[in-house]
Amino acid sequence: MSELPPFVLYYFAAFLVLALPVKVRSIILLATPVITALHLWFNVDTGILSTYSLFNFELTIMRTDKLSLLFAYLFCLASFISTIFALRLRDIRQDIAGLLYPGSTLGAVFAGDLITLFIFWELMAVSSVIFIWARGTKRAIYAGMRYLVFKVMSGACLLAGALVLYHSTGSLAFDYIGLEGLAGWLIFISFGIKCAFPLLHGWLTEGYAEATPTGTVFLSAFTTKVAVYALARGFAGEEILIYIGVIMACFPIFYAVIENDLRKVLAYSLINQVGFMVTGVGVGTALALNGAVAHAFIDVIFKGLLFMTMGAVLYRVGHINGSNLGGLYKSMPKTAAFCIVGALSISAFPLFSGFVSKSMIMTAMVQEDYSYLWLFMLFASAGVFHHAGIKIPYFAFFAHDSGLRPKEAPVNMLIAMGLSAILCIFIGTQPQYLYSMLPWAVDYWPYDMTHVLAQLQLLFFSALAFVWLNKQGIYPPELRSTNLDVEWIYRKFIPAGIHRGLFVFRTARESAITAVIAPMRSIRNSFSQSFFARYHLSESWPTGSMVYWISIILVAYLLLDIFVYE
């Protein structure tokens, strides 16, 4: 039993959901992550290596260590909470995707070679896009197509890199890869696409904002975290990741502040938080890597909580634009309270979960003498408090009275949000339990007086800046507008350029044809009216004469063949 890959349980459950009646479906959906987690806890230990041969390749479908097991526990937890949140669904497509998608992430986490990783990498893409298409709108369909294109590009880079690596080294093992050769860069780009590196992030901000209210919760939990896991295993300590992570942490702040769609604000915030993880992986010390892994664990919970609160608002109200919301705390007080817990957690308030992981990354940067980049990360920490810690709950629930009085979120959604909120507070107050599960041994405690006071000062002055900017009318208001991001390049600029190029080509071709054909037609018309064409060519000859002369030519050819060429 110890070598049974966890993804098998999820895939088998998906088959059962497809075959069994609707009444049994909910039981299977809830039981699968619980049974898988129990299997991992009691039967699976570190050091397992399960391999099989395929076409002379030695593939490893089960490789366990503390890093893979921690992410496996996380994904089982995320799957369980997301399933509770989506329990009212009666959509077989999303039910199947809710099992295949987490199951594929577990397959990727335990993959010990790049080919196995590639297989689950692509299965994640195919199963996750269902959450976008299931919404059924035209925007969702097109967003899902673009989302899938990026995922296929990522898979193609991963496969190409794996083949180049095998050709040069004879190994497909998924361990430290580095950036020494072409294979390393191809695999790095593959991981970077799924990590939403700058200029490669359009699939996330667009796709997550167009997914179903429950689908976004699933999407936020798995793909980027698998990419962070892959970077931690394959590229830990690569300095370029520090600069990429700092950019990721900073640039989404400006978009999130002016964005009207609150789920898109959270999508930008997700890139911001992944930036902290990528930076930690780039620093590469035990403290930094533990911080990156811990922050990935915690981010799934508090970011899932925020996406659940906005999903509940979308479910009850029908839209999620900040300009049309406000005053919802009067009829959705529990959802508003859970949203505040998520906002405090993502803002790294002391006693909330974000505080105990983000500080590890920041401390590691100072220890490794990245103080100047630490200042940018400090700015990013203040920025996330503005757009996720304040903007999300303020404009959704408190900014003004929109007159909307929707019902409170359904019971199953409240239970899912409540579990996440409890975990945010528990991890924030008792971080030692999470620290004991981290892959690398490190002695760290976040609650020292200097760190607590510094963080409280940062948050206090950030809140003061928000209040002052808002009172002065300087803070960007919530407007019905479309913000131009990187997707404008491939949604508008490139198609417009292609259409313009085709138009110029067609125009040039027609001009060339006109320039060549017109004189030829004139010559043809003049020749057809000439004496030679009218009286010496076949146009003016009777049919009988034509048959007579053809017969003479055939007889002459026959005589030549008989007497001359014998």
Below-50 pLDDT ranges, the chain: none
Residue 533's pLDDT is: 57
Residue 22: is it exposed, middle or buried by C-beta count within 10 angstroms (0-12/13-18/19+)? Answer: exposed
Q: What is the 3-state secondary structure (H, E, C) of 223-243?
A: HHHHHHHHHHHHCCCCCHHHH
Residue 516's pLDDT is: 76
Query: Terminal CA-to-CA distance of the chain, rounded, Å?
Result: 88
- Tokens found for residue 520: 């030829």
For 91, the enclosing helix (H) or strand (E) is none
**Contact indicator for 335, 417 with CB cutoff of 8 Å:** yes
Q: Which residues contact 241 (CB under 8 A, 6 or more apart)?
A: 231, 235, 278, 279, 281, 282
Residue 479's pLDDT is: 59
- Tokens found for residue 113: 């070679």
Residues 295, 182: Cα–Cα separation, whole Å? 30
Measured over the CA atoms of residue 270, residue 405, residue 416 and residue 426, the dihedral's sign is positive
Which of 79, 151, 67, 168 minimizes the C-alpha distance to 111? Answer: 67
**Three-state secondary-structure class, residue 173:** strand
Residues 81, 311: Cα–Cα separation, whole Å? 14
Residue 279's pLDDT is: 96
Residue 488's pLDDT is: 74
Q: Which residues contact 197 (CB under 8 A, 6 or more apart)?
A: 244, 248
**Contact indicator for 428, 342 with CB cutoff of 8 Å:** no
Query: What angle (nearest 5°) sits at the alpha carbon of residue 294, between those of residues 307 and 240?
Result: 95
Please tell me the total number of residues recorded for the chain in this structure.
566
DSSP label at residue 310: H
**Three-state secondary-structure class, residue 351:** coil
For 49, the enclosing helix (H) or strand (E) is strand 49-54
**Contact indicator for 61, 110 with CB cutoff of 8 Å:** yes
Residues 251, 249: Cα–Cα separation, whole Å? 6
303 residue type, one letter: K
What does pTM read for this prediction? 0.87
Residue 53 phi/psi, 5-degree rounding, is -100, 140
Query: What angle (nearest 5°) sits at the alpha carbon of residue 250, between those of residues 247 and 251?
Result: 80
Residues 330, 406: Cα–Cα separation, whole Å? 9
**pLDDT tens digits for 309-344?**
999 999 999 888 888 888 898 999 999 999 999 999
Residue 476's pLDDT is: 65
Residue 443's pLDDT is: 84
Residue 527's pLDDT is: 62
List for the chain the helix, strand, coil content (%; round to 5).
Answer: 75, 5, 25
- Pairing state between β 49-54 and 57-63: antiparallel
Residues 13, 41: Cα–Cα separation, whole Å? 19
Which of 127, 192, 129, 181 minimizes the C-alpha distance to 157? Answer: 192
Residues 133, 182: Cα–Cα separation, whole Å? 35
* CA-only gyration radius of the chain, Å: 32
Residue 536's pLDDT is: 55
